[in-house]
Amino acid sequence: MSDALLSVNNFSVMYDVEPPVEAVRNVDFTLRRGEILGLAGESGCGKTTLAYGIQRLLKAPAVITSGSVVFHDGSGEDVEISQLDVEELRRFRWDKISMVFQGAMNALNPVATIGSQLEDVYQVHRPAMSKSERRDAVVELLEIVKVGGERRRSFPHELSGGMRQRVMIAMALALRPQLMVMDEPTTALDVLVQREILRQISELRHKFGFSVIFITHDLPLLLEISDRIAIMREGEIVEINTAERIWSDPQDDYTKKLLSSFPRLTGEKGLVSR
């Protein structure tokens, strides 16, 4: 595909415990430029393991047992992520692919200011930037995600949950990556804040043109924001299609059960029958 950004082929991950656990099995999908791909499934189905594996963020006892992950950077050069050495991988992450981790409070350093943590990204990946340039870039980032530049002096505990999540989005956006992986970024937020965060992700996607892999167990949410949705069960992708087709014409029985588990807002009480 000429518009492909990421190609995942026959990708498998095992947890090397006794007995071994096949967490991800023979996953295949292609992510297109500028699209939001939702990854849905019940807790424990392998969504986060897949996301971490794609970026080589997994730690023992997790082992990638097969497959390839190829990043098409648009310059005609394809990057096989599994073939990158440690230094190449360090430069690749955040610059080409960034991550918004689940639980912003745990992902942020509680004893460092927001500004210093954002500046660290530039210090590591853009060492030629001066201190004033880094500070100006941080202020711009915080304004873009509607936290406010004055908050760069704040510590994480001084911000609300929604603002901390916006800071994590700012950090992921800092180097203008082509792909942003979001691991349940709105799970711990109330409905109104969740709505604001989702609206902002959509706005930023349109403004900067990055692609998104959005991981959640909340299928109705994905139906609203995603271009395509991949349904995952027991380590495998059982169905992948446009959000509209997933809703109107699901093919896999498990997809139908997931859709039926959410009650309608109108009509008789009870579960939806499909």
pLDDT tens, position by position, 177-213: 999 999 988 877 788 888 888 888 999 999 999 999 9
Lowest mean pLDDT among 39-53, 159-173, 185-199: 185-199
Entry pTM: 0.91
Report the pLDDT averaged over residues 95-100.
94
| Spatial CB neighbours of 157, under 8 Å, sequence gap ≥ 6 | 105, 110
Strands 211-216 and 36-40: parallel
CATH 3.30.110.60 fits 4-260, yes or no: no
Tell me how far apart the alpha carbons of residues 163 and 193 are, in angstroms, rounded to a whole number. Answer: 9
Q: Inform me whether the pLDDT recorded for 272 exceeds 60.
A: no
Q: What is the pLDDT confidence band of residue 161, given thresholds at 50, 70 and 90?
A: confident
Percent of residues, the chain, with pLDDT higher than 70: 94
Tell me how far apart the alpha carbons of residues 218 and 115 are, in angstroms, rounded to a whole number. Answer: 32
